[in-house]
Amino acid sequence: MNTPPVIAIHGGAGTIAAAAADAASAAPYRAALHDIVSAAQAMLLRGGSALDAACLAVEMLEDCPLFNAGHGAVFTHDETHELDAAVMNGSDLRAGAIAGVSRVRRPIRAARAVMEDGSHVLLAGTGAEFFARERGLEMVDPSYFSTEARRQQLHRARASDRVSLDHDSGPLAEGTKFGTVGAVALDMHGHLAAATSTGGMTNKRVGRIGDSPLIGAGTYADDATAAVSCTGSGEMFMRAVAAYDVCARMRYAGQTLQQATDAVVMQTLPPMGGRGGLIAVDRLGNVCLPFNTEGMYRAHARGADAPHTAIHR
């Protein structure tokens, strides 16, 4: 089988103020999205696996301080960092995830290590960090994840006594942005994979875990249907089992990727206050990137075609 490979990535969804997003302020985000999706695209064109490409994209997103994952992650109420990540391989339904870590430099690598170990699917806190260290993954002081912009964001959230999903202000005057990064890929062998990583919510209660590391809620992949990575109000995505619901609608109800993703994002989530979006690619290479907020950082590339990047509709 020789399928044109597809890669799609997201850097979070939310009420990104289109009126304030002039070309200059949007340029760094678009450039980062373009470079990251291009690197994953090149890997796929060399015959790389969907799993490798999705993980590469998320690693690069974790390293970019513009997005809420890895370096540049948001702060908890106690001015600490708690990072979550998950990965799933569509060909065999293997999955791995970590939650609540603060010393693993690249959380997505730890999630993949959990998957490859195979004993468990989800490890959290100090146990996850011990596992990562045992596997030889790079560890850092928690201060590595801190940026001054995120610290100021926490102080503003504390002053207003609220929990914020990523930026409450910033270069794009974003209002409230849902801070998660993710990638989904289809390789030329017809295999699918999904990867997701997040720093959580600004000013969140210590110990809170969202949908990103929960297989079926924020992350899911199955070669028979699709690969999905979500971003948004995690509690609602968990209640809707959003990522799995997309694949279930395709498998059991015969819906197309477009029908399934629209149903979840536009119909299932809004009545319960679920705001955000998702990225998905199916086994035929169709791509859907729906969101019910003003914008979602996103990019995708098919085959050797030039990548597309977007922030608003």
Binding residues for substrate: 208-211, 231-234
Pair 304, 188: CB distance under 8 Å: no
Contact predicate 267/274, CB 8 Å: no
3 is catalytic: no
Catalytic residue among 3, 80, 147, 180: 180
194, 219 contact by CB (below 8 A) = yes
CA 108, CA 97: separation in Å to the nearest integer?
8
User: CA-to-CA distance for 154 and 201, rounded, in angstroms?
Assistant: 10
φ, ψ of residue 245 to 5 degrees: the values are -60, -35
DSSP structure string for the chain: --PPPEEEEEEEEE---GGG--HHHHHHHHHHHHHHHHHHHHHHHTT--HHHHHHHHHHHHHH-TTSSSSTTPPPBTTS---EEEEEEETTTTEEEEEEEESSBS-HHHHHHHHHHH-S-SEEEHHHHHHHHHHTT--B--GGGG--HHHHHHHHHHHHTT--BSS-SSSTT--SSEE--EEEEEE-TTS-EEEEEEE---BTBPTT---STTSBTTTEEE-TTSEEEEEEE-HHHHHHHTHHHHHHHHHHHH---HHHHHHIIIIIISGGGT--EEEEEEETT--EE--BSSSEEEEEEEETTSPPEEEEE-
Which residue ranges make up the annotated binding site? 208-211, 231-234
Active centre residues (catalytic): 180
